Amino acid sequence: MNRLALTVAGHRVARLCRQSLLIAGLAAALAGCKTTASDTTGGIPIDYRDRHPIAIKEGKKTLTLFVGAGRGGLSPAQRAEVLAFAQNWKRDASGGVTIDRPVGGPNQRAISDTLKETLSIIVQAGVPNSGIGVQPYHAGGDNIAPLRLTYPLVVAKAGPCGLWPDDLGPSNDPKHFENRQYYNFGCASQRNLAAMVADPHDLVQPRAETPPWTAKRTFGTEKWRKGESPATIYADSNKGAISDLGK
């Protein structure tokens, strides 16, 4: 009887050991999953320039011209806008000009006359006929359908902003105790920089140097050779001064 009891007890101990090992294996697997999730969350870049990079993309420049039913031509302000649009095309465009012409609206006849004047201005400004495409679109309702001029160009963009994946208040998240930047930090600055840059290519590489102005350089060198100050003297530099104090 004692030998039988010992055998039964041994089987129970072995079964309990196997169950303990199984539970330990599941716990290790779950811990591994949690570690992976933590690594993914911790993989968010710390530097705001890495979180919100400025990307170089192709956008579009659009000029909208509203034409009344009884006008049939561009106003002086609109002529200046069309001319500036064509001049900017020569500098910025990465493709041709597309003109969307409304059809079926109350100002359809006026749009036709305005389109002729618009084409004349942009061609005279240097846009070739082969680079201009006119496509109609249906103008529904009684609203004034505009004439739209569009060309593609390279633009710099960042964002979107306003994403808050983490709680800014006190929490048990390790990032709260490490005093890290919140995710949206720096996004607005990156978007503003992308919008203000004159040429998006400047964010990637510097421009080529322009030839020096030899006349100005020679003039300054001659003044230096004669012992004179090469500094430029402005006759009206103190024109707005109200006092000679400090001279």
Q: How confident is the model at residue 40 (pLDDT cuts 50, 70, 90)?
A: very low
Report which of residues 240 and 112 the model is more confident about. 112
In a domain, 222, yes or no: no
Q: What is the Cα–Cα distance from 129 to 135, expressed in whole angstroms?
A: 14
**Three-class SS state of 59:** strand
Helix (H/G/I), strand (E/B), else coil: 183:
coil
Contact 140, 79 (CB under 8 A): no
The answer to whether position 124 is within a domain reads yes
Assess whether pLDDT exceeds 60 at residue 157.
yes
Residue 148 lies in a domain: yes
Whole-number pLDDT of residue 143 = 78
The number of distinct structural domains making up the chain is 1
Answer yes or no: is 82 within a domain. yes
Predicted confidence band of residue 128 (pLDDT cuts 50, 70, 90): very high
What is the value of pTM for the model shown? 0.61
Look at residue 6 in the predicted model and tell me its pLDDT: 44
Residues 129-137, mean pLDDT to the nearest whole number:
93
pLDDT computed for residue 7 by the predictor: 55
- φ, ψ of residue 180 to 5 degrees: the values are -80, 165
The pLDDT of residue 38 is 39
Has residue 141 been placed in a domain?
yes
Query: End-to-end CA distance of the chain, in Å?
Result: 119
User: What's the whole-number mean pLDDT along residues 3-25?
Assistant: 57
Contact 186, 48 (CB under 8 A): yes
pLDDT value for 142: 74
User: 3-class DSSP state for residue 240?
Assistant: coil
- What digits encode the pLDDT tens for the residues 72-120? 789 999 999 999 999 999 999 999 999 999 998 888 889 998 999 999 9
* Per-residue model confidence (pLDDT) at position 147: 94
Strand order in the sheet with 55-65: 55-65, 147-157, 97-103, 132-138
Whether residue 208 is predicted with pLDDT greater than 80 in this model: the reply is yes
pLDDT band at 165; cut points 50, 70, 90: confident
Q: To 5 degrees, how large is the angle CA 56–CA 62–CA 53?
A: 20
Q: What is the CATH number of the domain that holds 108?
A: 3.30.1330.60
DSSP 99: E
Confidence band for 41, pLDDT divided at 50, 70 and 90: very low
More confident residue, 238 or 113: 113
In this prediction, residue 182 carries a pLDDT of: 86
Range of the domain at 111: 55-157
The set of residues, in sequence order, having a beta carbon less than 8 Å from that of 152 and lying 6+ positions away, is 58, 59, 60, 61, 93, 94, 95
Q: E strands within 24-131? A: 55-65, 97-103
Do the domain assignments include residue 68?
yes
What's the pLDDT band for 63 if we cut at 50, 70, 90?
very high
CA distances from 210 to 89, 145, 206, 214, 215 (A): 22, 45, 12, 12, 15
Task: Return the pLDDT at 3.
Answer: 53
Asked if the structure places residue 20 within a domain, the reply is no
* Residue 151 parent element (H or E): strand 147-157
Structural domain includes residue 50:
no
Q: Could you tell me the sign of the dihedral formed by the alpha carbons of 131, 137, 142, 143, in that order?
A: negative
